[in-house]
Chains A and B, each alone.
Chain A
Amino acid sequence: MKVEGGIRFIILSEVVIPLLLLIFGVYHGVMQVLYRAGVLKTDSFLGIDYYQGLTLHGVINAIVFTTFFAVAFGNAVVLYLLKKPLRSAVQWVAWFMMVGGTLMAAWAMFTKRATVLYTFYPPLIGHWTFYIGAVLLVVGSLLPFFLDWIPNAIAWKRENPDKKIPLAVFGVFVNHILWTIMIIPVAVEILFQLFPLSVGWVDEINPLLARTLFWFFGHPVVYFWLLPAYVMLYTMLPKIASEKGKLYSDPAGRLAFILFLLFSLPVGLHHQFTEPGITNAWKLIHAMFTFCVALPSLITAFTVAASLEYSAKAEDPSVKNSKFYWWTRLPYLRLEGDKWLFSYLFAGLILFFFGGVTGIVNASYNLNLTVHNTAYVPGHFHTTVGGLVLLAFLGMSLYMVAKLRGTDVRFKGLAALAPYIWMQGMFMFSYAMMVGGALEGFPRRTNAGLTYLNPDSPLYRPEWVGYAQLSVVGGILLGIAFVFFLVSFFGTLFAPKVRESVVEFPIAEAYHDAPTPVLNNLKGWTVAAVLLAVLSYIPPLYDVTQRGVFHNSPAYNEQYPIPLKQLQQTEAKTKELSMKEDR
């Protein structure tokens, strides 16, 4: 489908801008393994200190890049499948809010005004521009959904009353419904707790309430990252695997998306298993719901594998009766047409297998005591968000840029190899982090090279050295893979135009299909999801506001062990004194 002018620029820039930031995000990822292993025994490198870089790494990679991509991908998918023009005015307002918010938050982080990590747990507090920037970014990302995609879908439905909404659009919609709901608790946290504290309107905060509101958002957000990748796995991967490929079951895809809508929200307490002030019965209930939200991914594992089997057998009938041999017929490393994209989704799937297994460990209530806040946790989420999500987003970014610019994918060999090198790097990195974390208690979020991995320090912990060194090898491989991708991406972006600019996706048809009116009732399921989320959060919210917290806390800056207010008063006094002396 042809796409011109402003909309084309908007979608392109929503892919390119976060990728430019991602270059810094990945750069500091590589730096972190060097810091942690004690290769760099320093507080800072090139003016960026460890925790500041960690904040940037988290915010850019996990929040900015993913949010921008979800909007760009949603715009393109809805445009392509519903064939209705997007509204420029809406898109521009959203674009300015997202880019403006990102710039505000980036300014605060790059100038060391908000070294609070991407979870921004109070009472550590950053500059107000960080919080407002984040709010602008996420609220801006909602506008296209409400003012563009929904009206277009209603109009489409009116014209096609007896058709189901296409599965890819269905997935994008479920994703943005989830996004809308989960933004409410974090918006409450930021606008009523953190922002007033950061500008000094209030002096104190309830840190446990803030954490509970944060994880009400912080868990479903990982599914907000994941669902665009699932849309690709369901609707596009079979077609990329083979021209004759089909999605094994359309209703199974819809069921998986509905289960995500229901169970992504009432699970946030599994991030708070080791926290005080929350009755552990509610923690067990959230653990149970977390097991429920594993189910749609297990369904997806089956459906995607079945689709791949169908595609491989359709391509080569000689493996038709084999149970295992068809696995050898998939286009693992092929350069013709769009087959290079298979590398991205496949390498991502392999990593996601390990991400899923380790995620179930994390969710397992008391088992979490052995891994909570150790390096195991980053080991886990680098195989999910740094595995499937990132690889799917990078591959699709390259694909969309080539189509939108009307160019050929350049350096296709590098592009197709990158995901496998990334996968190998991630295996080494995650293995080291997970084993070191679970067995030896190697902590996360710690500049360990200065103390724990420094033989000259009294805090030296030799048992962590081997794991940290293995993670360095992994980190360097990840860096190389990302450079391979960048060469191909920017080569493609600046290549000469050889055909029309289009929005286009390789959408597979369904092998099994059914009308499934119950599953398609998004309104009903949304109401159910909200009800379940609210019910499961009433008891913990009561605990953290009425029972478990004895007093509120003043704000702190990460540099000083005294409250920020006291610090500012002392500073003001010293200034006054020195001015008096000057006179």
Chain B
Amino acid sequence: MDRAERNALTVAIVLLLFFFVLIVYAAKGLKIDLPTCVTDVQPFKEGKLIQHAPDRYELHVVAKMWLFDFNQGNTEIEIPAGSTVDIYLTSSDVVHGMHINGTTVNLMAIPGTVNYMRYKFDEPGVYHVVCHEFCGVGHHAMQGKIVVK
């Protein structure tokens, strides 16, 4: 290995290490982490929005062909700005996706499992929720709304 090659390799390794350190810092320091294995919540059949405190909510979402059930069949819900929401997600049939546009909430809904992520809705506005995994012929009409007031 000549000098130029060694230099190129060093630059590549330093660059990748730098990226990796930033990732770990964002995950563990800033708590922007990926969903993990949830074992304490069983898959559920019905969507529910539960309020625990004025700014604390628990949202149970059932993704199904071809709608999001946010709250007893509703595909649209309202919450006040500044709320922290614990989102639990499952699917009642095939694999779905759930991306709340404009946020880092980007989850897969897999039947038989429960996915979880916490998000704080600071900015008021309409958050579109899009299914981004192919789930059959109605896939392109599978959208819900979270209205933050």
A: which residues have CB within 8 A of B?
43, 49, 51, 54, 117, 121, 123-124, 206-208, 211, 249, 251-252, 272-281, 283-284, 287-288, 291, 294-295, 298-299, 302-303, 306, 360, 364-370, 372-374, 440-441, 443-448, 450-452, 459, 461, 512, 543, 547-553, 556-561, 563
Contacts and interface: CB of A to CB of B under 8 A. Distances in A.
Contacts of B34: 273-274, 280, 283, 365-366, 368-369
Given A124-B94, A373-B97, A543-B37, A559 B136 contact: yes
A372 B116 contact: no
A559 B137 CA distance: 6
Interface string B1-19: 1101100110011001001
A561 B140 contact: no
A276 B116 contact: yes
Given A252-B1, A274-B107, A446-B132, A459 B93 contact: no
Contacts of A272: 108
B20 A288 contact: yes
B59 interface: no
A561 B23 CA distance: 39
Contacts of B116: 276
B99 interface: yes
A292 to B, nearest CB: 8
Contacts, number: 212
A560 B138 CA distance: 9
B129 to A, nearest CB: 10
Nearest to B20: A291
Contacts of B111: 123, 207, 553
Interface residues of B, number: 62
Contacts of B65: 556, 561
B125 interface: no
Nearest to B111: A553
A291 B22 CA distance: 13
Contacts of A543: 37
B101 A547 contact: no
B36 A364 contact: no
B112 A51 contact: no
Given A365-B27, A556-B93, A441 B101 contact: yes
Contacts of B27: 284, 365-366
30 contacts: A211-B110, A249-B2, A274-B35, A277-B37, A278-B36, A278-B37, A280-B34, A298-B9, A298-B12, A360-B16, A366-B23, A366-B104, A369-B104, A369-B106, A372-B99, A373-B97, A373-B132, A441-B101, A443-B130, A443-B131, A446-B134, A451-B140, A452-B143, A459-B141, A547-B39, A548-B37, A551-B43, A553-B93, A558-B136, A561-B64
B132 to A, nearest CB: 4
B140 A275 contact: no
A276 to B, nearest CB: 4
Contact of A252 (B5, B114, B128): B5
A343 B131 CA distance: 40
Nearest to B42: A550
A311 to B, nearest CB: 16
A171 B103 CA distance: 43
B55 interface: no
Contacts of A446: 132, 134, 139-140
B128 A461 contact: yes
B110 A556 contact: no
A287 to B, nearest CB: 7
B37 A547 contact: yes
Interface in B79-138: 89, 93-95, 97, 99, 101-102, 104-108, 110-116, 128, 130-138
A278 B108 CA distance: 12
Given A252-B1, A272-B108, A444-B132, 16 more contacts: A51-B134, A54-B134, A121-B134, A208-B110, A276-B37, A276-B107, A279-B36, A280-B37, A299-B9, A306-B5, A364-B19, A366-B33, A366-B34, A443-B97, A548-B39, A561-B66
A289 to B, nearest CB: 11
Contact of A561 (B9, B93, B95, B143): B93
A445 B131 CA distance: 10
A448 B140 contact: yes
B107 A549 contact: no
B38 to A, nearest CB: 6
Contacts of A360: 16, 19
B38 A548 contact: yes
B112 A206 contact: yes
A291 B16 contact: yes
B19 A374 contact: no
A548 B54 CA distance: 32
Contact of A370 (B24, B35, B104): B104
B146 interface: no
Nearest to A375: B132
Nearest to B101: A441
Contact of B37 (A249, A279, A440, A461): A279
Q: Which of B32, B39, B132 has the most CB of A within 10 A?
A: B132
B24 to A, nearest CB: 7
A550 B141 contact: no
A313 B25 CA distance: 45
Nearest to A443: B132
Contacts of A207: 94-95, 110-112
Given A284-B24, A445-B133, A551-B43, A276 B35 contact: yes
B112 A275 contact: no
B50 interface: no
Contact of A276 (B33, B108, B128): B108
Contacts of A288: 20
A558 B2 CA distance: 57
B77 interface: no
Contacts of A550: 42-43, 112-114
